[in-house]
Amino acid sequence: MSKIKFGWHMPSFAVDNSSGATLVRQMANVLTKIQSTFDTAWMDDHVQPWAQFVPRETDVLECTTTIAHLATAFPQIRFGSMVMCQSYRKAGLTAKMAANLQLVTGGRFILGLGAGWMEEEYRAYNYEFPKASTRIAQLDETIQIVRQLWTQSPANFEGEYYHLKNAYCHPKPDPIPPIMVGGGGEKLTLRVVAKHADWWNFHQNSPETYAHKLNVLRSHCEAVGRDFNDIVKTYGAEVVAIAETEAEARRIAEATPYSDNYPIIGTPDQVAEQLRPYIELGVEHIIVRCVDFPSTAGIELFAQAVIPQLSN
């Protein structure tokens, strides 16, 4: 197995209602602390906040432009979208934006794509919100279009939902960015992963559930003639509350609105033990969101005391 790598899931909005400008500075502060130990940094693709967590007027940072800004300042880190909603930009524009991000980051962009799920956000911004099976079929076509634009000139595509006619995308991305698909739907989404993804992300679930999803993915790979081992498996630990004592870690977890989403809570040793089963299942990249942000205490403790344990 290749050496386990780690990523930081950056916030697109602040639960303490900080301004967007403040949030950018806070993220840069974290990246300064972790740039020598973390391999990747990731950002959500949302245009307004989740109403159950923060007021609707809360500043929200756009994914691709924020990545472009931060990647310039932190050349040691690869940046990715977690994950870009295929509905929010035409497939051709997604390909062009990703190719340009690959250019300006010096080849450090990972294109994470998903079918889209947040109906309230769709409705607010006047995006059509078809049924899930349609959105997943659109995701499938989006990935095909992206790859064609990255590799062909001109590119042509005639799908059920999306089309290209004599389309050009230059400069071509070099190297071709990995495409990561997020999601765990067993009938449709994992089949898209098997057909098209270089990386796969699944988050906020138990090792037992992750193992089951791996078995489903393996079956889809066999059905489409794909080598299961060619896909990089990632796990998103969306709620990590870590401190020197378990009591303090639990206090941090209780203070965050995210704490009910299969949290990872405890001392460094306890956090390492909770994450180790995913590595044993074959996860190659763990992406964490430490919920004491904007403090850097949790992410620094993770870097200093958890990563060395899991890297050995």
Residue closest to 1 by CA, chosen among 157, 222, 229, 191: 229
Average pLDDT, integer, range 143-149: 99
Backbone angles phi, psi at 288, to 5 degrees: -120, 150
Q: Residue 1: what pLDDT?
A: 53
CA pair distance 30, 204, nearest whole angstrom = 22
Q: Within 181-233, where are the H helices?
A: 189-196, 207-224
> Exposed (0-12), middle (13-18) or buried (19+): which is 223, by Cβ within 10 Å?
exposed
Question: Residue 209 sits in a domain of what CATH number?
Answer: 3.20.20.30
Tens-digit pLDDT profile for residues 265-312: 999 999 999 999 999 999 999 999 999 999 999 999 999 999 999 998
Neighbours of 76 (CB within 10 A): 11
The encoded tokens of residue 61 equal: 């940072």
| Residue 284, φ and ψ in degrees, nearest 5 | -110, -15
Closest CA to 181 of 79, 275, 86: 86
- Cis-peptide, bond into residue 268, ω within 30° of zero: no
Output the pLDDT for position 259. 66
Model pLDDT for residues 56-94, shown as the tens digit of each residue: 999 999 999 999 999 999 999 999 999 999 999 999 999
**pTM score, whole prediction:** 0.96
- Which 8-state DSSP code applies to residue 195? H
Cα 98–Cα 71–Cα 300 angle in degrees, nearest 5: 130
Domain assignment of residue 65, given as a range: 5-311
Looking at the structure of the chain, the number of domains it has is 1
